[in-house]
Amino acid sequence: MRIRGTATVVLAAALVAGCGSGGSSSDGKESPSASERAVEAPADPLGAARLKSAAVSGADVDGFQIVDFPAEPAGGGTAAPAVCQPLENMRTASPEPDPREFVGRLAYADSGPAAGSATTVGLMAYEQSDAVGILDGLRTALASCTAYTGGVPARTTAETATAPDAGDEAVAFHLRTEGDSSDAFVVVRSGATVVLFFTASGTGSAAEVPKALVSAQIGKLERA
């Protein structure tokens, strides 16, 4: 299953049906830095109810309509070379090991600089050592993986991007499948929770993960 296609189709159907949530105005307060927030991050795995309550909604950020992801991802393909596998796992929102709990959201940007983009947001609860390992695995993959096959019919290229100042640590990268536009990924660890942001532009141009969405989601998680 390719998350990008699923996200676009499901979002379109949900928005037509009026399932999206409207945004609300922010309080204008400056967000704390990652170092200031780190002490607040839950160090133990969040249970299903707490993880769900920590997921971003349209009331938390302006310019987005946000709906529930329809189902937990079922996994993806096998990457060749194998060093690229962590990237393919994130493309399908199916990291290894499997999370204890998963909550997904689909965020459609209907205004602002990200207008027209669709972002999958996946919150995944782990033991903290496993959460740290997920980010370490992505960094190791990005250090040597520039392209791979598997998962989709065409060759996929990988490129490291600048990670945001969010959570305890973060990794960012782009994946581009031949014949398609570039998709953007940001993966943030906050305590024992890993949060995936996967953005498809919907306009044919290279995608960028919306900074406001990352800030709203990580802030809400750290207050959970």
What is the domain partition of the chain in residue ranges?
Answer: 3-20+43-222
33-64 pLDDT per residue, tens: 444 444 456 788 999 999 999 999 999 999 99
Q: What is the pLDDT of residue 113?
A: 87
Q: What is the mean pLDDT of residues 161-183?
A: 93
What letters, b where the CB count within 10 A reaches 16 and e where it falls short, cover 36-69?
ebeeebbeebbeeebbeebbbbbebbebbbbbeb
Domain range 3-20+43-222, its CATH number among 3.30.60.50, 3.50.50.60, 3.40.50.12780, 3.40.1000.70: 3.40.1000.70
Of 217, 220, 15, 1, the C-alpha closest to 116 is 15
Q: What is the pLDDT of residue 36?
A: 47
Share of the chain above pLDDT 90, in %: 64
Of 223, 89, 197, the C-alpha closest to 145 is 89
